[in-house]
Amino acid sequence: MPRHFECIVDGCDAVIEADTDDAIVEQAQAHARENHPDLEMDDEMERRIRSEITTI
């Protein structure tokens, strides 16, 4: 089942889709590294990302 994630940063409308939660997290981290270098990618952020993932 495809997963769907919308960037949690205000004003950023990036959307990530992948087949697994892990793939979403990986792509979200890569997206954040490129677009939100101020964002700290710690365990807390990973939990936030995972909590925002929806199944479509």
**Which residues contribute to the site for Zn ion (CB under 5 A)?**
7, 9, 12, 14, 35
* Minimum separation from the CB atom of position 11 to Zn ion (A): 9
Q: Which is nearer to Zn ion, 1 or 37 (CB)?
A: 37
Q: Which is nearer to Zn ion, 39 or 44 (CB)?
A: 39
Helix, strand, or coil (residue 3): strand
* Minimum separation from the CB atom of position 10 to Zn ion (A): 9
Question: Counting Cβ atoms within 10 Å, is residue 1 exposed (0-12), middle (13-18) or buried (19+)?
Answer: exposed
Give CA–CA dist 20/1, Å, rounded.
Answer: 8
